[in-house]
Amino acid sequence: MLKIKGPLGFCVAAALLLLLAFPVVAAYKTHNDDSDANAFLQVYPAARGTKLDNCYLCHTGGNVGKKYLDSCDYCHAVYGFKPPHPEGSIRQTLNAYGLAYDDAGRNQAALTAIAARDSDGDSYANEQEIEAGRLPGDAKDHPGVTDAPAVLYTREKIRQLPKTAQIMAADTAKAGDFFATYTGVTLAELLKDAGIREDATDVTVFAADGFSKTFPVADLQKTYPQGRFYTKFPWISFPLSTGYGHEAQLPGDLHYLLAYERDGYPLLESKIVAEEDSRSHLDGEGPYRFITPLREPVVPDRSQWTIDRDDPPYPYNPNRPVTRNADFCIKAVVAIQVNTADNKSWSYDWSGRAWEMIEKGELVVYGALKSPKQ
């Protein structure tokens, strides 16, 4: 069993949280150590930029309560963000291939040693699956599986769908809170147009940098109550041309939205920007951003990063009962995978052209679809 001790323990263990996330991405770099990703890409260089170049090569999703979480969120839920971490919890997040890699030594030699094995029991050797671009830790993804039904949307197709605009609060934990008007197509309309099946249970939303989160279909089809507008709190920003006064009730309901405009302007195209400390960050929101509304009205509180975080009114509350919706508003969305209860790993390899899709304004919806359009 892998044991993590000492001041570097979290750095080593956190690297396992995203064993093979996209190497150039800030979301992976914040996990401090990309040695596992580098080891895999040294042994299998052709996998760079494919779906194998991601955390779910070695990590699995799972249920927490009644909700299914993807590999990133499941790992955070089971292992936690900060020490002390439950004994042995990191291994609970690994799939069959991740466990074999860990047991064999977590290095290039380990990858070579397990190449001829069939870790997930689907009758294909690990190396055979990797060379075919399939996941060696998922028995439902192998060289014999055909690509999932898919609908590719262009800018023109997206804008032909019913348009929804909503002014809303974005409540964050670390960055500043803000009000903005996002315009786009509701997820309910988008999934209906794509031909979502009746047995679909949830969707996984992917950004171009590999970041993903999973959302229940039932939640996406609901509307949520609007809150009030706030202008007198210095930690909340808003457009000067808004026309709403302090504590004014905002009109309408809120939806989960695939947005392509903010405050009347197209979302800025996302790109990876290098920083001086060899890290990088994602700049821009678009061309598409997945917008998550607040589940219930709430006054955005102060940021945990500010020196006045404990000052009244509305000090930062780490245990706020209402989910901070901005943490689930995904930038640079390029793919939406529609899942069923027994299939969370539909095969459709968009990863290799994710940034090309950003440039072209494309988005793919794939998975549990009836008879998708071309």
Cis peptide before 84 (omega within 30 of 0): yes
d(CA 205, CA 220): 12
**77-120 confidence digits (pLDDT tens):** 898 877 888 988 889 999 999 999 999 999 999 999 999 999 99
Top-tier CATH class for 151-367: alpha beta
**Which tens digit of pLDDT belongs to each residue from 311-331?**
999 999 988 888 899 989 999
Q: What pLDDT was estimated at residue 28?
A: 39
- 142 pLDDT tier (thresholds 50, 70, 90): very high
Cis peptide before 287 (omega within 30 of 0): yes
Can you give the pLDDT at residue 23? 30
pLDDT band per the 50, 70, 90 thresholds, residue 197: very high
Domain boundaries, the chain: 9-131, 151-367
For the residues of 305-330, what is the DSSP string, one character each?
TSTTTTPSSS---TT-SS--GGGG-B
Task: Give per-residue pLDDT as tens, 243-253.
Answer: 899 999 999 99
* Better pLDDT: 107 or 73: 107
How far does CA 331 lie from the centroid of its chain?
9
